[in-house]
Each structure stands twice: as structure tokens, then as C-alpha cells.
Amino acid sequence: MELKKILVAVNGNGADEEAIKLACSVARKSKAAVYVVYIIQVKRSLPLDAEISSEIQRAEEVLTHAEDIASEQDYDVETDLLQAREVGPAIVDEAMERDIDLIVLGMPYKRAFGMFSLGTTVPYVLREAPCRVLLCREPIS
Amino acid sequence: MYIIVIGGGIVGYPLCRALLSEGHEVLVIEKDAKRCDYLEDNLGSVCIRGDGCEAATLEEAGTARADIFVATTTRDEDNLMACQVAKYKFKVAQTIALVNDPVNEELFRKLGVDYTVSVVTHLLEPIKEEIPTGSLTHLLSLRDEGMEVVEVRIPQDSKAVKKPVRELALPPDCILALVIRKEQKPQVPTLDTVLEAGDRVIALTRGEDEAALRDVFIGS
């Protein structure tokens, strides 16, 4: 499996670091480009291109941290900040637009109402992404 | 433009598809979960599940910044309620409602819905046009002016046949805009224009004068 482009979606949770390290490690073998994206989910009450400064600031911090993690791995990544109504469709759209070969998602170990939960974004990406998807769940703490 | 559509059914779904293809920002509010899935599969992430009559749902939908609000469900009471909440709570500039029973059209207008569309009324017009039932065909409603643009086909036994326009007892404010005669160019009638059986006359009249206009051309 030769990979040329890898997309990592981050959102500032604890699983981001492992996902970026994993993406860098996989990318290194084929010298693939790694794109790290943060998606700001914009409420319908605001226009899609609304500038939500608090969200933008947080996104920039997360992306800077992602770059730092990649640097520690001695790998260059490209970062991007997107705004969308829904995170899942935004990841899939971005993957299609960039002709991505692999999407890497990190997810925390989440429980909802006492049951393990994948949330809504991960199932959507697994269902709709045109390329391979690598899901990295953080260990149960 | 940001357009909110209530109901993603047989009217709402193709309406959204058409609006999206024109580049508008569109959101559908649909009650039924399966229908929501269908809309998401076919139109993308443009649907939220909820009741379009509820203020909380409309708040989530960002109704306050909507340019146009369209209610297309199969229940007139829902369409009316949704449009009223959008109009009076969220101050949407333009509300449009599908009216399933044309009897309700007047009520919708009185209660502030800006534009109503009745499928039954639209279906009736071409039927009236094709079948000589002796009524006027409504072409356009100028609601702000209280005027209607109507078409009337002059029957053989009309008392207007062979008479010039000046001799017709037209209602006040009635304007004859066009006379369309078979195999001839449409003409703007003058006071001397003599009408013939089979002529189609396009007229502008007040709503309350329609019966009088009908009487002039068709008879009571």
C-alpha cells in the first residue's frame, strides 16, 4: 500500500498526539505528505464564514501543538483550519478534495450513558470516506 | 441567501435540491428520522431533525438570519404555525407557505404569511382555461394593490361580441390590457376595438369587481 497523502483530523482531545505520531510514522515509509486539519463547527445561527475568535484561537493552539508533535517526530506537516456545519462531512469533503489516501482519526475512550460510544463523526467518516481510515483510540485510563 | 425549508417531503426535497443547485445556503427541518437520513444521503448535511413549529428548533436552525422561510409540509396548520413563528419571533423578511386546502389561503394571508402557494388552485387554473366553465382564469395576484390579473375567453353568446370596448360597462378601475385573437398578433385594445367570440382578454381588475367583469364578458 503506497500512501502519498495522509489527512489527520484533530480537535484538541487527548488522542490527537497519538494520531499525529501514527500518521508521521506511516507517512515516513513512503514520504507521504501529512495534512493536519482542525474543523470549527459553526452553529446554524451564524453564517458559515463567521469569525469566532475564541474558536479560532483554540484551533490555532491545537494546530501549533500538532506541528510541535510532528517536529518531535522529525516530520513536516501542513496544517489547515476549516469551518463547517458538521465535522464528519467536512473531513470527508477535505479528503476528497485533496485526493487523500489515508485518513487518521484519534478518538478518546468515551462513554455515554454507561456505554462505550463512537460519537457521530467517527461512524460517519468510516461510512463515507472514499479512502482508507485508520482509527486510533486512546488507551483506557 | 439563507433559506430554511420546513418539511423534506415531495415538495420540500426537490425544492431544496433546486435551491442548492442555485448556490443558496439551505437548511431543511424534518420531523421524520428516516426522511432525514434520505435527505442527508442525497443532499448532504443540510438537514436537522425537529419540529419546524417549535421556537427552540427554529432557534437552532438560525432562523433569525434567514432571508426566506418556506413551509412545505402536508399539514396546513403546521405550515401556518411555522411561518408565524418565523415571521413574528425571528423577524424573517419573507415567509412562504404551501397551502394544501385552498380554503385556507385567505386565512394564511390575513395572519401574515407573505406568499401562499396552493397546488389545487394552480391545478384548477389550466383546467378552467381548457374547459369553458364561464369563469375567469387568475394569472397574477397583485396583493398590495388589491388587484388581480385575469384572463377571460369570450363565448359565442356573450353580449360583448361585436361591441367596441367603449360600449362595455366595465367596472371602475378595470383595465383591459390585451386581446388575443386566434391566428393574429396579440393587441392592446383601444376604446374602438371590437371584440369577437373566442377572443381571450387579459384584464386587470379589483378582486371585488371580478363578478361584474365576468358579467360583462360571459353573462351572469
* Among A44, A47, A86, beta carbon nearest to B61: A44
Q: What is the mean pLDDT of residues B183-192?
A: 90
Average pLDDT score over residue span A9-18: 91
Q: Chain B interface, mutation test: which of A39, A41, A42, A44, most B Cβ atoms within 10 Å?
A: A44
Residue pLDDT, tens place only, B71-105? 999 999 999 999 999 999 999 999 999 999 989 98
pTM of the model: 0.71
Region of residue A128 (left: phi > 0; alpha: psi -120 to 50; beta: else): alpha
Mean pLDDT score across all residues of chain B: 90
Q: Tell me, what's the pLDDT at B138? A: 81
Q: Are residues B99 and B193 in the same domain?
A: no
**Number of domain units in chain A:** 1
Which of B122, B151, B169 is where one domain is finished?
Answer: B122
Contact A134, A104 (CB under 8 A): yes
Examine the domain organization and report whether B105 and B139 are in the same domain.
no
Same domain, B63 and B8: yes
CB B48 within 8 A of CB A44: yes
Q: Is A52 on the interface with B (CB under 8 A)?
A: no
Residues β-bridged to residue B29: B6, B48
ipTM comes to 0.71
CATH number, residue A36? 3.40.50.620
Of the listed ranges A93-102, B13-22, B136-145, the one predicted with least confidence: B136-145
On whether residue B177 sits in a domain, the answer given is yes
| Domain span at A62 | 5-137
- Kindly state whether A127 is in contact with chain B, defined as any CB-CB distance less than 8 angstroms: no
Tell me the chain A residues in contact with residue B44 when contact means C-beta distances shorter than 8 Å: 89
In a domain, B127, yes or no: no
How many domains, chain B? 2
Last residue of a domain, one of B77, B93, B122: B122
Q: Which of B45, B59, B65 is opposite residue A85, by nearest beta carbon?
A: B45
A137, amino acid identity:
R
Q: Which three cell numbers stand for residue A85?
A: 456545519
Residue A108 grid cell: 478518546
pLDDT in tens, B107-125: 998 898 999 999 888 888 7
